[in-house]
Structure 1
C-alpha cells in the first residue's frame, strides 16, 4: 500500500501584522530601544570623563557642546531614557515575583512607567536647574 503525504496546514508565525498593537507591546519595544540608546549615552558619559581627565581645554570643549541646545536635548533624552529603562526594569521585576499579570494591573504598570518616566525626568531637570541657578 502506498503512503501519500498529507499536507498539514500549519499556522504562520505570529508577527506585528497579526496582533493589534497594545500598550504593553509598545512598551516592550520601547524598553529594548531605550536599552540600546543607553549604550550611546554611556559613550557621551565616557567622553565627558575622558575630557575631564585630559585637562581644562578638552573639558571646556565637551562642556560647550553639552551646554548647547543640541547637547541639552541629548542630555534630556538620555535622562528620560535612563529613567524609563529603570522603571521598565522595575516593572519586569514585579512580574518576576508573579504579580501584576492581570489585564488591569498590566495596563496600570505600563501607564505608571510612562507617567513616572516623564514626571521624574522633569523633576530631575527642574531641581537641577534650581541648583545651578537657571540657564547660563
Structure 2
C-alpha cells in the first residue's frame, strides 16, 4: 500500500481546475443561480406548507400566519420566493431551448443568460405590482 501512495504523490498529473482559474461568464453565473434558486424554492415550499397548515388549523393559526406573511420579513420571503420561482422557470425554458439544439452559439448563450436574469426580475416586479394594486 505504501508504494501506491508514493506513486500517487510523485505523479505529474495536473490537478482539476477550480473556480479561481475559470473566467466567470454569464452562463456560469446563471447555472449557479439556477441551482441556488432550486434550494430557495425548496425552503420556500416549507413556508407554503406552513401557510396551508395554518389555513387548515383554524382562524387563530391562520391569523398568526397572515401576520407573519404580512410583516416586512414575510414580504421579503415572499418576494425572494417569487423571484426564485421566476428565475428557475426561465432557466428551465433556457434549458428547454438547448434541448432542441438551439442557442449554443456564444452570443446566443450570453443573450439567453442575460434574458433569464432580466426576465426574472421583470416578471417578479410585474407580479408584485399587480398583486399590490389588486390588494
Output the TM-score relative to the length of structure 2.
0.90
Find the counterpart in structure 1 of residue 64 from structure 2: 61
Q: CA RMSD in A?
A: 1.3
SS at match of 1:14: coil
Q: CA deviation at 1:15?
A: 1.7
Q: CA deviation at 1:93?
A: 0.8
Unaligned runs of 5+ in 2: 1-6
Please list every run of at least 4 consecutive aligned residues from structure 1 whose deviation after the TM superposition is greater than 6 angstroms.
none
2:52 to 28, 31, 49: 49
2:108 to 97, 105, 108: 105
SS at match of 2:19: coil
| Structure 2 Cα separation of the partners of residues 74 and 10 of structure 1 | 47
Find the counterpart in structure 2 of residue 16 from structure 1: 19
1:62-101 aligned within 5 A: 62-101=65-104
Which one has the bigger helix percentage? 2
SS at match of 1:16: coil
Unaligned runs of 5+ in 1: none
Q: CA deviation at 1:14?
A: 2.0
Q: CA deviation at 1:8?
A: 6.2
How many residues align? The count is 127
2:118 to 108, 115, 118: 115
| Structure 2 Cα separation of the partners of residues 53 and 129 of structure 1 | 25
Question: 120-129 or 15-24, which moves further after superposition?
Answer: 15-24
Find the counterpart in structure 2 of residue 37 from structure 1: 40
